[in-house]
Homo-oligomer: A and B are copies of this chain.
Amino acid sequence: MERSTHPDSVQSLTRGLHVLTAFNRGSSRMTLSEIAVLSDLTRGTTRRLLLTLVENGYVGLDGKFFYLRPQLLELGYSYLASLSFNDIVQKHLNLIAEQLHESASASVLVFPEVVYVARASTNRVMTIGLSVGSKLPALYTSMGRIMLAQLSENELEKHLNSVTLAPPTPRAIKTIAEVRTELEKVRSQGYSILDQELEIGLRSIGVSIGSHVNDTYAAINISVPASRLSVEELEVKILPMLQNTAQQINSELGSVWPS
């Protein structure tokens, strides 16, 4: 747990937020000692910070176990609410999902991941495991790649310097050099296709939405079983509709998002 060099930095706040994120790294209910170890802080300090979070209602305490409380949603969703984003996107995802009879999603870039913020599907057999709030490695999702392709050279370098590649399938790219090549291609195409890299049997195509207001890189995608559509078919049949949807979303966002 490192001390900031910035004189105006409030160490206790940094530490408290770090303790809060320990739940992302550990399990849903943890003891003081477990959290202290994950946070790399002494038990005494960790305890005080946790008790403060309990007092403020973000964390609960049951016996010796600490857990996250619903009030935490206030923090997370205030970001989405500040974007005036989700209802517009959800509406258009519903439309395209119905037109295509495929799953449609939106996510934002929270490197090294993408976080799903909206989904629509008309399939009764829904692909389990992905819902709003789900996170996937940005480098191995179509949405992540189109978003990364839009970062400045500086930002992209910073991210690539801090990431450890963990290819999810044997088909997935394995080196940072491959990442750069792929992002170059995605950048020039204006869309990205993921071909069974995240999951064997699954293809997806992603385009970006929005204008990077408030550091927000967002994208939408369509995912399909590989048995149903080839890469070429994704490009020919799906991409035009997806791009049209993105344009409609951007048009509506344009009236609420400052440029």
Q: Which residues of A contact B (CB under 8 A)?
A: 4, 6, 8-17, 20-21, 23-24, 28-29, 47-49, 51-53, 55-56, 58, 60, 62, 67-84, 86-87, 89-91, 94-95, 98, 108-110, 115, 117-119, 121-122, 124, 126, 128-135, 214-217, 258
**Pair B98/A52 contact, Cβ less than 8 Å:** no
Q: How far is the CB of A188 from chain B (nearest CB, A)?
A: 25
Contact in complex: A13, B67 (CB < 8 Å): no
CB pair B60–A124 under 8 Å, yes or no, is no
Using CB atoms, name the residue of chain B closest to A213: B67
Asked whether, in the complex, the Cβ of B55 is within 8 Å of the Cβ of A6, the reply is yes
Q: Smallest Cβ distance from A153 to chain B, in angstroms?
A: 19
Are A70 and B109 in contact, with the CB atoms below 8 A?
Answer: yes
Instruction: Please pick, from B4, B74, B83, B121, the residue contacting A55 in the complex, using a CB distance under 8 A.
Output: B4
B118 touches A131 (CB 8 A): yes
For the complex formed by this chain, how many copies does it contain in all?
A: 2
Q: Which 9 A-B pairs have the closest CB atoms?
A: A76-B76, A13-B16, A28-B82, A12-B12, A86-B131, A72-B79, A77-B133, A80-B133, A68-B79
* Bound CA–CA A78/B98 (angstroms): 30
- How many angstroms between the C-alpha atoms of A52 and B121 in the bound complex? 40
Is the pair B98, A124 in contact by a Cβ cutoff of 8 Å? yes
Could you list 6 A-B pairs, sorted by A, with CB under 8 Å? A4-B55, A14-B56, A28-B84, A86-B133, A87-B129, A87-B130
Contacts A10-B48, A83-B28, A126-B94; A214 near B60 (Cβ below 8 A): yes
Q: Which residues of B contact A20 (CB under 8 A)?
A: 75, 78
B214 touches A74 (CB 8 A): no
A21 proximity list for chain B (CB < 8 A): 74-75, 78
Known: A9-B55, A72-B76. 12 other contacts (CB 8 A): A8-B51, A13-B15, A16-B17, A20-B78, A21-B78, A28-B83, A68-B78, A69-B216, A73-B76, A73-B133, A76-B79, A89-B131
Flag if B214 contacts A67 (CB, 8 Å): yes
Point out which of A6, A117, A131, A135 has the most chain B C-beta atoms below 10 A from its C-beta: A131
Instruction: Say whether A8 contacts B78, CB under 8 Å.
Output: no
CB neighbours (8 Å) of A4 from chain B are 52, 55
Within the assembled complex, what's the spacing in Å between the Cα atoms of A58 and B21? 12
In the assembled complex, which residues on chain B have CB atoms less than 8 Å from the CB atom of A122? 98, 122
